[in-house]
Structures are given as C-alpha cells and as structure tokens.
Amino acid sequence: MARIISRLVEPDELQLKLLDIVKQHGIECWEIVYYSDWEIYDVHFDDITNDEVSFYRCTLEQCSFADFSPAYHNFNNSTLVDVTFSKAGLKESLFSEVNFKNVTFDNANLLKVIFMDAIFENVSFANAELFKVNFYGCDLRHINFDNVEMRYTRFANCLLSDSLMNHPNGAWDDSSAEKKLFIVH
C-alpha cells in the first residue's frame, strides 16, 4: 500500500480535485497516475496497469517498480534513492534531471527510454536489455553495465567508462576530435 510521507509544497487546485475524486471512490494513493511534489517512501508500484505514470519534483525512497510495465511514464526533476526497477519493462519513458542513488535496473527491458542530464550514484543495469535507449549529458563512468545487451543505444555528451567505450559493437559516430556521440549498434 502506498505511503505518502509528506507534501513538499501545497497542492494546486487540480491536485485537490484529483484527491477529492480519489477519496470519493476509495481509490488507494498508488492508483494516482500523476505525482507532483510528493515524498514517497516504501511504495511498491509493481501492479500498476495505467498507461502513463508521471513523477515531477518527487523524492522516492525504498520504492519498487519490479515487473513494472506501463509505457510512457516520466520522472522529471526527481530523486530516487534505494529504488529498484528489476525486471521492469520500460517503454518510451523519460528520466529528465533525475538523481539516482542506489538504483537497480538489473534484468530490466528498456525500449526507447531517454535519460537526460541524470546523476547516477551506485546504479546497476546488470543483465538488462537496452534497445534504442538514449543517454544525454550523463556521467556513466561508475555504472555497472555487466552483461548488458545493447542495440542502437546512444550516448551523447556523456562521460563514459573505459569498459563502455571498449564495447565490441560501440563506435564514435562523429569524426571530430570532441567525440560527443558514442553508439552501440
């Protein structure tokens, strides 16, 4: 069951209307598909069936998205601590300006996912499958990409680990000395 610790700011009128509808119908908090300015602790989002789930300026701690598979969900300007996406199926999702700390994507299947200006600390993608995943402006020097299957994965303006730069199917796409775009085919 979802447990909301606190609001970070006062809710706006639209959020109050949504919460009133939720209360009237006895819907649990985790069924709300748009979270803004929430601090969420120890919530298991594993059984969500909505097509889109969005988090904006949220802090999530010790949450689970294991076996999570809605498409088109977004995490913007949020912090994720001790969160798991193990075995999740993420499709056309966006992680923009997200701070990841102790987060695992192990055994996850990522399709057309975008990571933009994200900060990664102790994050693992071990045994994950990445297809058409894009990383923009991310520091990936300390990411565990062990046994990751990557196809058409792009790294633009990213700091990369030596092991990632030596990927057998990887190559720099631009001919300039700046080497801004690395692609794993």
pLDDT digits (tens, 9 = 90+) for 6-47: 444 445 565 556 556 555 655 554 444 677 888 888 888 766
Q: According to the model, what pLDDT value does residue 140 have?
A: 92
Contacts of 89 (CB under 8 A, 6+ apart): 67, 68, 69, 108, 109, 111
Determine what percent of the chain is predicted with pLDDT higher than 70: 74
Q: According to the model, what pLDDT value does residue 29 have?
A: 47
CA 42, CA 4: separation in Å to the nearest integer? 9
* Mean pLDDT within 75-79: 96
Q: According to the model, what pLDDT value does residue 122 have?
A: 94
CATH classification number, 4-152, choose in 1.25.40.80, 1.10.10.10, 2.102.10.10, 2.160.20.80 = 2.160.20.80
Cα torsion 138, 82, 34, 133 to 10°: value is 30
Token pair 């700046």: residue: 178
Please state, as a whole number, how many other Cβ atoms lie within 10 Å of the Cβ of residue 36. Answer: 19
Q: What are phi and psi of 134, to 5 degrees?
A: -120, 130
- Top-confidence residue, 76 or 165: 76
Q: According to the model, what pLDDT value does residue 37 have?
A: 84
CA 170, CA 160: separation in Å to the nearest integer? 12
Mean pLDDT, the chain, integer: 82
Provide the token pair at 108: 């996850």
* Mean pLDDT within 75-99: 94
pTM for this one?
0.80
Locate the domains of the chain by residue range: 4-152
Model confidence pLDDT, tens digit, residues 149-158: 999 999 999 9
